Amino acid sequence: MAPNAVAVMALPELVCVTGASGHLGTWLVKRLLERGYRVRATVRNPGDPTKTAILRNLPGADERLQIVRGQLLEESGFDDAVNGCDGVFHCACPTEFSFEDPYKDCIEPAVNGTVNVLKACAKAPSIKRIVFTSSAAAVRFTQLEDIAGQRFDENCWTDIEMCERDKPHGWPYFVSKTLSEKKAFELAQEYNLDLVTILPPLVNGPFLIDKIPNSVADAISLVTGDISHHKFIRRISYVHIDDIIDAHIFLYETPAAQGRYNGSCADASITEIAELLKKLFPKIKLPDNFDYVGEILLHYMDNSKLKKLGFEFKHGLADMFESAVKCCVEKGLLQYPGEAP
């Protein structure tokens, strides 16, 4: 170094997180800040404190967090957000299961939003990798779901025609995730972008937002007594929020990662979850049987590709349910199971 020269510290990597005010988005921003990243978080209205307060209060936010506007349906609406970034985590997507107009309110926004984000990334030469949050819903909804013991890996894709024909509960979301992930790979190939997708199942555990996230509401519906969710969870795969967030960052930081990755940790039937809940919360009141959910045929999400890459899951089903219920109770959203109001 020349005399009197001043050493310049390299800035931490700058990554963009779309959909940053949602359940996954808030946790992802939190963990990225904890790891020292600079984060540019997109929300629909940065001036709305109800959408940004959680993010602004995260440790490290004052020094390394920018909150910017991002609109899924605006062409070039993400150009400024991703410009100059080293990486992008695309989490933004409609997550409701019921829509007045499934195509207009869910499927088209998800696909068009993905197009807008990928096109914005194609204009930003600094971007090294995009991690796209897809879903196990883009994998498991096929005729194979009715075969006991069926294993679903990254080669499996949800049958869109079957979903549109049979209209199972949540079908617009299943179709939206399938079509948007396929579109993402198509555009990544067209624009020569490094794209990796992660496929979370039902995400359980604590949350930072003020209401119970849809995935947690599904997962703990035996605890809340919301019977409308029970058929959906009669056989399903789960992951703890900490694990799926760590998997996102792991895939971003691991050069060898490529293609799709199942993010499922554990598979369980509703009867197995009921037995677990009885052990965790001895006073809980549960149905005597589950005949009303129909035939229970357990199937499995194969996560071996992610594990072979070196990722390790740290939380089992007990952790997921204990931490989810504890979070709900602490936020005043739920009575402790078995206790009188």
* Residues acting as catalytic residues: 177
List CB contacts of 219: < 8 A, sequence separation 6 or more.
202, 203, 204, 233, 238, 320, 321, 324
What is the crossing angle of helices 270-280 and 317-330, to 10°? 60
The residue type of 67 is: I
- The tokens for 275 are 């037995």
Is the separation of the CB atoms in 44 and 68 below 8 Å? Answer: no
Order of strands across the sheet with 129-133? 65-69, 38-43, 14-18, 87-90, 129-133, 195-199, 259-262
d(CA 74, CA 94): 15
Residue (of 240, 213, 170) closest to 331 by Cα position: 213
The CA distance from 337 to 334, in Å, is: 8
What are φ and ψ of residue 17, in 5° steps? -120, 115
